């Protein structure tokens, strides 16, 4: 497995592969890798001849008061996992390499970036699109794979990037239903026991055992509720007569840790 932290080195290898007619799949990550990330790599392997993974904690998607400084950085373990997974190449750039002209946020995705997670994190999706566009420019992949765990992020990336086929992977969960996340490492033992309630309650909405209002009440027994919304899964707008798929989207705080989760289901179940 090749590991590069500068762009020219990376591009020499990528160009060599492209010259041979090999297709390149790309999986961007912030490290702190778990089975959710590895499942995206498995999809990438099926989609292309070569798999490139980036590990970069992007400063422009974190607000001042957020956890940029404490975000888990586990490069050694990550590289071992990536090697075992059969990844061809890992890109581990510095912030200076990604943003040679400084870290000014120069992307605005507009209203879609201000709803759901954007209410609490108004700059987040602008930062995400900024880094994904920049990484696409550097790597020039044929395909990129993203997780449906970050459903709004996936939707926005599809809308605000071009020239790369975007493929999605389903949410990988712990056996008790908690969606895997690097931030789960922040949970105390007690919090970790409570955390699966999030997915459990969303499941009760899907099965119509709970209405949205009672589900919100249930969630508030365990968490500080950030948002709980049912929207059209294709548009992330209000459900209409034309809605074929529904997205239950939720974010909560458990102590200082913010957890997100979602369930997407076909309308006929409603």
Q: Which residues bind ligand AMP (CB under 6 A)?
A: 29-30, 36-37, 39-40, 146-147, 149-150, 169, 171-172, 179-182
Which residue number, 36 or 210, has a Cβ lying nearer to ligand AMP?
Answer: 36
Strand ranges across the sheet with 245-254:
224-232, 245-254, 257-266
Question: What whole-number distance in Å separates Cα of residue 212 and Cα of residue 217?
Answer: 9
* In the complex, least distance from residue 12 CB atom to ligand AMP, rounded to whole angstroms: 26
Q: Is 123 a catalytic residue?
A: no
Distance CA 16, CA 88 (A): 13
Least CB distance to ligand AMP at residue 251 (A): 14
Where do the DSSP E strands lie in 33-80? 50-55
Residue whose token pair is 């904690």: 57
Three-state secondary structure call for residue 252: strand
Measured from the CB atom, the residue of 57 and 210 that comes closer to ligand AMP is: 57
Tokens representing 41 are: 């790599």
* Closest approach of ligand AMP to the CB of residue 211, in Å: 27
Measured distance CA(126)–CA(72) in Å, rounded: 22
- Write down the catalytic residue from 37, 123, 155, 199: 37
- Minimum CB separation from ligand AMP for residue 19, in Å? 29
Element (DSSP H or E) covering residue 233: none
Q: List the structure tokens of 35.
A: 């089975």
Q: Which residue lies nearer to ligand AMP by CB, 99 or 124? A: 124
Nearer to ligand AMP, 210 or 259 (CB): 259
Residue sitting closest to ligand AMP (CB): 147
Q: Which amino acids are annotated catalytic?
A: 37
């Amino acid at each position: 497995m090749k590991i590069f932290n500068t762009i020219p080195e990376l591009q020499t290898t990528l160009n060599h592969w492209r010259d041979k007619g090999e297709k390149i799949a790309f999986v961007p990550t912030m490290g702190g890798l778990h089975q959710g990330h590895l499942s995206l790599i498995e999809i990438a392997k099926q989609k292309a001849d070569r798999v490139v993974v980036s590990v970069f904690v992007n400063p422009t998607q974190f607000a001042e008061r957020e956890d940029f400084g404490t975000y888990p950085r586990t490069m050694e373990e990550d590289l071992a996992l990536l090697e075992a997974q059969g990844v061809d190449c890992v890109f581990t750039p510095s912030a200076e390499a990604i943003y040679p002209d400084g870290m000014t946020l120069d992307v605005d995705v507009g209203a879609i970036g201000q709803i759901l997670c954007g209410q609490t994190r108004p700059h987040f999706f602008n930062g995400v699109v900024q880094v994904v566009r920049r990484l696409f420019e550097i790597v020039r992949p044929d395909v990129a794979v993203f997780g449906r765990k970050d459903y709004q992020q996936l939707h926005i990336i599809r809308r605000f990037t071009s020239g790369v086929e975007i493929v999605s992977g389903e949410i990988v969960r712990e056996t008790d239903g908690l969606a895997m996340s690097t931030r789960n490492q922040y949970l105390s033992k007690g919090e970790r026991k409570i955390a699966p309630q999030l997915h459990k309650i969303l499941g009760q909405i899907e099965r119509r055992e709970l209405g949205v209002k009672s589900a919100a009440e249930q969630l508030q027994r365990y968490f500080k509720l950030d948002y709980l919304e049912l929207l059209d899964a294709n548009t992330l707008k209000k459900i209409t007569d034309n809605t074929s798929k529904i997205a239950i989207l939720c974010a909560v705080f458990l102590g200082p840790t913010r957890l997100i989760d979602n369930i997407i289901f076909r309308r006929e179940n409603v």
